[in-house]
Amino acid sequence: GIEQKALRARADMIAQMEVKVETARRRAAHAEEFKQELARATQNLRHIENQMATGDVYVWIIKNLTTFQTPYQVDISNFDPPQISDSTIVPKVPYKTAVFTVLGTARYHDLEVFLAHLLSNFPCMRVQKLELEPISYGRSGGSQDEQRLTFKMELATLIKSGSTRP
């Protein structure tokens, strides 16, 4: 009778509590996983931010591209001062964007390798526009100069907070 109903009610209550305890344990385990994932993401963000333009952006661009081009057969002859604006990236990020034009010469394959390595080493940089022209029009032959191209490329990079205009 009454005692069995009371025991059954308590057994049901214990079963419900066990389900709640198990749910809480799973959530606690997931919370630890989320904490670890957040720590990894924060570390990754810091690594990426350390590669962003900082300080005088024009000097940063010249220094980094000049140093980076050294092992490649790419000659950069001109750096136009960057145009700095608020970032248009969605979702909103706390960075500005610098867009700058670079002029130079290279053979197609050398420029291709240079750009691939540049963009993989500077993940916050991208090529927005690239114009290529042969150095010499209308001449045939295979000399190194005749295989070279002039290039004009527009690069965009994110600027870490607190950086200044040139």
Average pLDDT (41-47) is: 90
Q: Are residues 24 and 103 in the same domain?
A: no
Q: Are residues 70 and 39 in the same domain?
A: no
Is the pTM of the predicted complex or chain greater than 0.75?
Answer: no
CA distance 74 to 150: 10
| CA neighbor of 99 nearest in space, from 162, 163, 158 | 158
Domain membership of residue 112 (yes or no) is yes
Q: Are residues 114 and 150 in the same domain?
A: yes
Domain membership of residue 65 (yes or no) is yes
Domain assignment of residue 80, given as a range = 57-159
Position 134 pLDDT exceeds 60: yes
Domain membership of residue 165 (yes or no) is no
Give 164's pLDDT tier (boundaries 50, 70, 90): very low
Average pLDDT (33-58) is: 89
Q: How many CB atoms lie within 10 A of CB 114?
A: 21
Summary mean pLDDT of the chain = 87
What Å distances lie between residue 111 and 74, 79, 133, CA to CA? 6, 16, 13
Give 132's pLDDT tier (boundaries 50, 70, 90): very high
The SS3 assignment for 165 reads coil
Domain count for the chain, please give it: 2
Position 140 pLDDT exceeds 70: no
Q: Are residues 2 and 73 in the same domain?
A: no
Q: CA angle 107-108-112, nearest 5°?
A: 120
